[in-house]
Structure 1
Amino acid sequence: MTDAVVVGSGPNGLAAALTLARAGLRVEVFEAHERLGGGLRTEALFDSDVVHDICAAVHPMAPASPFMRSLELDFHGVELLHSPAAYAHAFTDRPAALAWRDLDTTCAGLGADGPRWRRLMLPLMEHSADVVEFMLSTQRALPPPRAVALLAARLPAQALRAGGGLRTQEARALLTGVAAHGIGRLPSPATAAVALLLGHLAHTTGWPVARGGSGTVAAAMARQIERLGGRIHTGARVDDLRDLPARRLTLLDVSPRELARIAALPPGYLRALSRYRYGPGAAKADFLVEGPIPWADPRLGRAATVHLGGAHGTAAQLARAETLTARGARVAHPFMIVVDPAAADPGRAVRGRRPVWAYAHVPNGDTTDPLPMIRTALERHAPGFTDTVLAERGVSAARLGAYNANYVGGDIGSGAMTLWQTLARPVPRWNPYRTPLPGTWLCSSATPPGPSVHGMCGYHAARSALASLPERRRDGRAPGR
C-alpha cells in the first residue's frame, strides 16, 4: 500500500504531492495526459526550436506565493524573467498605458492620475506579505489586520465602478484590464480583489515568465517529488477512484464535475457540487511570428503582457464586454490578453522567430474558432502583424475544455469567480478540501484560494490531509520557512 495518491499533475496536484513527500509519505501521481504539468506545459508547436506555452504563460503569483517560494526555483535551475513593463494596455485612439516594475516610472506616465495610483498601490506594496497571506489563505482563519484595513479601504471603490477612483482613461483602463483577469462580471467584489492583488504585485515581485517556458516549473517540481521517492505516472487516465492503488490518502487536482464523474459521492454532496457554477471560457490562439510584434505604439513591446479589448480600449468598454460575456453573450471586441514571452526572455526568439500567445474571453463552451477574431484585434493594434505570421492555430473554449478536464467549457479558473464562490469553493463547508469520502481531498483551483499558478490549493489540501493521519506525519514548517 502506498501512503498517498494524487490525481492530476497541474501546479496544485504537484504542490500537494510535494507537500506530502516532504512530510515523508510515499506518493504516486497519476496524470491523464502524456506530459505532466496541467496548465504548466510547454511544447514546440510549429518549429522544433521555438516552444509555446500551451496554457499559463505569465506567472504573477509564482514569486509571491509562499509555497512557490519554498521551491527555491532558481536553485533548481528555473529562472523567472521580467520584461521592463509588467503589463500594458493598448488603445486605438491614444498612446498605450504601461505599468512598469518601477512605481515612480508608472506614476510619471499616468499624468494627473499618478498621485492617485501611488496612493492606491504604495500601501499595498509596503504590506504586500500580509495582503498575499490573506488572499492566498484557506479563507477560514483570521486575516492579518493590516491586510483587512488596506483592502477594506480600497475594495468598495473598485467593486462599484470600473477603474475605481481613477479619472484618466489610461489609469482606469490599466487597472480594469487587471480586474478582467478575474474572468467575470465587471466591476464586482471578486474582480476588484484580483485587481488589487495583481496590480500591486506588478510593482513588487512582478509578472514574470519562466526562462524556456512554463513547463520548466512543472519539471522542477516533478524532480523534487521523485528525489523524495515519489512516482509520477503519465498517460494514466483515472475514470474511477476504485481503480487506483490501495492508499491511505487520495488528493484530487480535478474539477467538481470531474470529481462527480470518477467518485461515488453521497447524494447530498453531489447535489451541492451540481450547483457549482463555471465562468466564461478562454479561446486561445498561438502564433509563430517573424520578428517583434509591430505595435502601433512601440512601447507595448516593452511588456510581455498586453491587454486589448473594447472598441477603443476604455475601462467602460472592457467592463461591458466582460459583463456580457459572463452572461453568455458573444461580443465584437472581447477582452484579450496577448503574451510575447521574448519581451522578457529573449532566448525564446530563435533565428528571429518567436512565439506569441493570446486568448480572448468568450461564453463558456463556445465552439467558435477564435483565430480570425484574435488576428483581427492584433492587426488593429499592430498593423502588419498578419504579414509576420509564419504559422498559427486557434483553440476554441470547447476544445480547451476537452484538452484539460479541469477547464470546463474553457473556464481556466475552474469555477466562476463570484463573491460567493470565492468564499465557498466548491461547496460551503468549513474544510473545503475534505470530501465526504474517507481519506479523500479536493486540491484543485476549485478550492481556496482559487486560480493562478501559486500551488496554495494543493498545499492547503495536503496539510489538511496530513493533519488527519493518526500519527500526524508532517514536517511542521510553513512554506518558505
Structure 2
Amino acid sequence: MSTAIVVGSGPNGLAAAITLAEKGVDVTVVEAADTLGGGTRTSELTLPGLLHDDCSAIHTMTAASPFIQSQPLDQYGLRWRYPDLDMAHPFDDGSAATLHTSITDTAAQFDDHDARAWQRIFGPLTRRFDRLRDDVFRPIVHMPRHPLALAAFGTQALLPATVLARRWRGEQARALFMGVAAHVYYPLTRPASSSVGLMITAAGHRYGWPVAEGGSAAISKAMVARLTDLGGKTETGTRVTSLKHLPSADVVLFDLAPGAVADIAGDVLPRRVSRAYRRYRHGAAAFKIDIALDGDIPWTNPDCGRAGTVHVAGTTAEIVTAERDVAAGRMPVRPFVLVCQQYLADPSRSAGGRNPIWAYAHVPHGYTGDATEAILEQIERFAPGFRARILTIHRRGPVALAEHNPNYVGGDIATGRNDPKQILIRPRLAPDPYGAGAPGLFICSAATPPGVGAHGMCGYNAAQSALNYLHHH
C-alpha cells in the first residue's frame, strides 16, 4: 500500500487526504495547531455560547465546489443554511443595494439600463457556471473542456473592475459589484481585478451565499469524519520544521504557504524551486474583530438586517481609494469592511439574546496598528447606536492572524497576492503547479490553482498529481 503524509489540515489538506484515501493510499494528516481545520475553525472568542468563525465565514465557493459536492458530507453533519438576503451594501442616504440568489430579483432594484446590464453580464455566467468552474477550478495548463464559456469569462475577467463597473450607470449597481470585486485584495484599477467579483457573484447566483450550521468548523469536522471512515489518520500539535521530522512516506503534500515549504524541504528542493517559493508574493492583510452584541446591529436600512453579509464600504470611489491605499502600504481612513451575520441563517451560533458579529477590514500587509476604531466607525456610520450594544470585542490583526494560522503570511488570508501573473501562474511557472520539483513532494495550499477559498479544489488537484506520481513509481 502506498503511503502519504499531508502537512496542514486546512480544507485543501483534508481534500487532498480524502482524495488519496479514496484510492487506497494510507494517509496521515499532521497539524501544528491543537485543532484541525485551518481556515475552517470556529471558537467561542467572546462570550460562552457565541460561536465565531476564526477565518472563513460565508461559503459561496465551498457550496459551488465540485470536490465538496462529490463528497457525502451531509452524512457527517454538514448542513448549509441560507440567509434571507445574500448580501447588502448600504449607502449614506439610508438606501442599500442588495444581492439576491435570484438574478431577476437582484436586477429588479435597478433602472432598466442597469437591470439589463446586470442580466447581460451575470446571466450567461450563471447559466454556464458549472461548465465554467470545471475549467477555472483546474490548473491553467490543462486544455479547457469548455473553451467558449472560458473565453467569454476571460474577456471580462481580465478587465480592471473599474472598467467593468462602467457597464452600469447607477451608483447602486456599481458599488454592489465593486464590493464583491474588492475580495480580490488588489487595486481595482489594475488588469484582472474583475475576476474574483465575477466568479463570486456568478457562484452566488447559482448556489447562494450559505453558512455552515454550527460554524465553519462543521466543514472540517465533516471532512475529518469522512477521512477517518476511509482509514485516514490525523495528528494535532505536531509542528513540522524539517522533512527529517516526518516518517518515511511515498508522497508528502504541504497545505502550506510556499515559503514554509521551502523552509521545511530545505536542500531537497532544487534551487530554482526554492527561489521561486521564496519569491512568491503575498498580498494585503485582514484585521479581524469578533463582537458579542446585545441584540442585532441597528442598521439604518432594514435590508442590511436580513443579509448574511454586509459590505460596509460606502461608494465605488471610496472602495477604489481604500484598496489603492492598502496596496500602497497606507491604512485607509475609511477601510473596506466586511460584516458577517451568520447567526441570521444559523441561530445556533447565538445565546441568550446575544449575537456573534464577524467583521474584518482590508489593511496593509503586515500592518501592526489597531484598526478596531476604523472598523467600528464604518459600521456605526450605517448603523447608529451600534457601539452602545457591544458587550465585548476580540481582535486579531495581521500579526495575530499569522500566529493563529502561519499560512496567512503578514495577515494575508488569501495566501497570495492576486496580481494578474499570480492569478494565472501560481505558485511558480511549471507544467505541474502542484509538484514541488523533488520526487514525491507536492504543494496543495491556496497558493496553488485555483486559489483562495474553502473549496478544497487545490487539495483535490494536488492529490491527482500525487496519484499520477504514485502510478508511475
With the shorter chain as reference, the TM-score category is over 0.9
Q: Partner amino acid for 2:97? A: A
Q: 1:40: how far off?
A: 0.3
Q: Which moved more, 1:90-99 or 1:445-454?
A: 90-99
Does the aligned pair in 1 maintain the 2:117–2:168 contact within 8 Å?
Answer: yes
Partner SS state of residue 458, structure 1: helix
Aligned 1:293-332 pairs, distance under 5 A: 293-309=297-313, 313-332=314-333
Does the aligned pair in 1 maintain the 2:160–2:192 contact within 8 Å?
Answer: no
- Counterpart position of 2:442: 441
Q: 1:179: how far off?
A: 0.6
- Counterpart position of 1:130: 131
Q: Partner amino acid for 1:259? A: V
2:35 equivalent to 1:35: yes
Does the aligned pair in 1 maintain the 2:2–2:470 contact within 8 Å?
Answer: no
Partner SS state of residue 181, structure 1: helix
Aligned 1:341-420 pairs, distance under 5 A: 341-420=342-421
Q: Which deviations, in whole Å up to 9, do the C-alpha atoms of 1:180-223 show, x marking residues without a partner?
A: 11111113343311111111122210111001100010000001
Partner SS state of residue 86, structure 2: strand
Q: 1:164 to 1:199 in 2, by over 3 A?
A: farther
- Counterpart position of 1:291: 295
- Find the aligned partners of 1:75 and 1:158 in 2 and give their Cα distance: 42
- Counterpart position of 1:139: 140
- Counterpart position of 2:15: 15
Does the aligned pair in 2 maintain the 1:2–1:246 contact within 8 Å?
Answer: no
- Find the aligned partners of 1:366 and 1:68 in 2 and give their Cα distance: 34
Q: Partner amino acid for 2:258? A: P
Q: Partner amino acid for 2:15? A: A
Q: 1:85 to 1:158 in 2, by over 3 A?
A: farther
Q: Which deviations, in whole Å up to 9, do the C-alpha atoms of 1:4-38 show, x marking residues without a partner?
A: 00000000000000001011011001000000000
- Counterpart position of 2:51: 51
Number of residue pairs matched by the alignment: 469
Q: 1:83: how far off?
A: 0.9
- Counterpart position of 2:276: 272
Q: Which moved more, 1:97-106 or 1:403-412?
A: 97-106
Partner SS state of residue 183, structure 2: helix
Partner SS state of residue 47, structure 1: coil
- Counterpart position of 1:69: 69
Q: 1:153: how far off?
A: 4.7
Give the TM-score of the pair, scaled to structure 2.
0.96
Partner SS state of residue 306, structure 1: strand
- Counterpart position of 1:213: 215
Q: Partner amino acid for 2:107? A: C
- Counterpart position of 1:479: none
Q: 1:182 to 1:157 in 2, by over 3 A?
A: closer
Q: 1:49: how far off?
A: 1.4
1:282 to 278, 281, 286: 286
Higher helix fraction: Structure 1 or Structure 2?
Answer: 2
Q: Which moved more, 1:53-62 or 1:155-164?
A: 155-164
Does the aligned pair in 2 maintain the 1:162–1:186 contact within 8 Å?
Answer: no
Q: Partner amino acid for 2:371? A: P
Q: Which deviations, in whole Å up to 9, do the C-alpha atoms of 1:206-252 show, x marking residues without a partner?
A: 11100110001000000111111111001111111111011101000
- Counterpart position of 1:425: 426
Q: Which deviations, in whole Å up to 9, do the C-alpha atoms of 1:302-331 show, x marking residues without a partner?
A: 11111122xxx1112211211221121211
Q: 1:379: how far off?
A: 1.1
- Counterpart position of 1:6: 6
- Find the aligned partners of 1:429 and 1:308 in 2 and give their Cα distance: 39
- Counterpart position of 1:475: none
Q: 1:72: how far off?
A: 2.8
- Find the aligned partners of 2:158 and 2:232 in 1 and give their Cα distance: 46
Unaligned runs of 5+ in 2: none
Identity percentage of aligned residues: 42
- Find the aligned partners of 1:163 and 1:315 in 2 and give their Cα distance: 9
- Find the aligned partners of 2:240 and 2:309 in 1 and give their Cα distance: 35
**CA RMSD across the alignment:** 1.6
Q: Which deviations, in whole Å up to 9, do the C-alpha atoms of 1:334-381 show, x marking residues without a partner?
A: 111100101221232222111100001111001112222211211111
- Find the aligned partners of 2:372 and 2:325 in 1 and give their Cα distance: 21
Q: Partner amino acid for 1:166? A: W
Does the aligned pair in 2 maintain the 1:337–1:358 contact within 8 Å?
Answer: yes
Does the aligned pair in 2 maintain the 1:289–1:389 contact within 8 Å?
Answer: yes
Q: 1:450: how far off?
A: 0.5
- Counterpart position of 2:181: 179
- Find the aligned partners of 2:25 and 2:2 in 1 and give their Cα distance: 8
- Find the aligned partners of 1:169 and 1:399 in 2 and give their Cα distance: 36
2:235 to 233, 236, 252: 233
- Find the aligned partners of 2:77 and 2:231 in 1 and give their Cα distance: 20
Q: Which moved more, 1:26-35 or 1:84-93?
A: 84-93
Partner SS state of residue 247, structure 1: coil
- Find the aligned partners of 2:157 and 2:439 in 1 and give their Cα distance: 39
- Find the aligned partners of 2:53 and 2:319 in 1 and give their Cα distance: 26
Does the aligned pair in 1 maintain the 2:253–2:442 contact within 8 Å?
Answer: yes
Q: Which moved more, 1:143-152 or 1:203-212?
A: 143-152
Unaligned runs of 5+ in 1: 473-481
Partner SS state of residue 163, structure 1: helix
Does the aligned pair in 2 maintain the 1:2–1:245 contact within 8 Å?
Answer: no
- Find the aligned partners of 1:93 and 1:156 in 2 and give their Cα distance: 33
Q: 1:109 to 1:34 in 2, by over 3 A?
A: same
Q: Which moved more, 1:115-124 or 1:215-224?
A: 115-124
Deviation beyond 6 Å, 4+ runs, structure 1:
none
Q: 1:159: how far off?
A: 4.3
Does the aligned pair in 2 maintain the 1:285–1:370 contact within 8 Å?
Answer: no
- Find the aligned partners of 1:393 and 1:456 in 2 and give their Cα distance: 31
Q: Partner amino acid for 1:9? A: S
Q: Partner amino acid for 2:280? A: Y
Does the aligned pair in 2 maintain the 1:178–1:198 contact within 8 Å?
Answer: yes
Partner SS state of residue 470, structure 2: coil
Partner SS state of residue 25, structure 2: coil
Partner SS state of residue 430, structure 2: coil
Q: Which deviations, in whole Å up to 9, do the C-alpha atoms of 1:77-131 show, x marking residues without a partner?
A: 2111111211111222340100112222111112241121111111111111112
Does the aligned pair in 1 maintain the 2:159–2:193 contact within 8 Å?
Answer: no
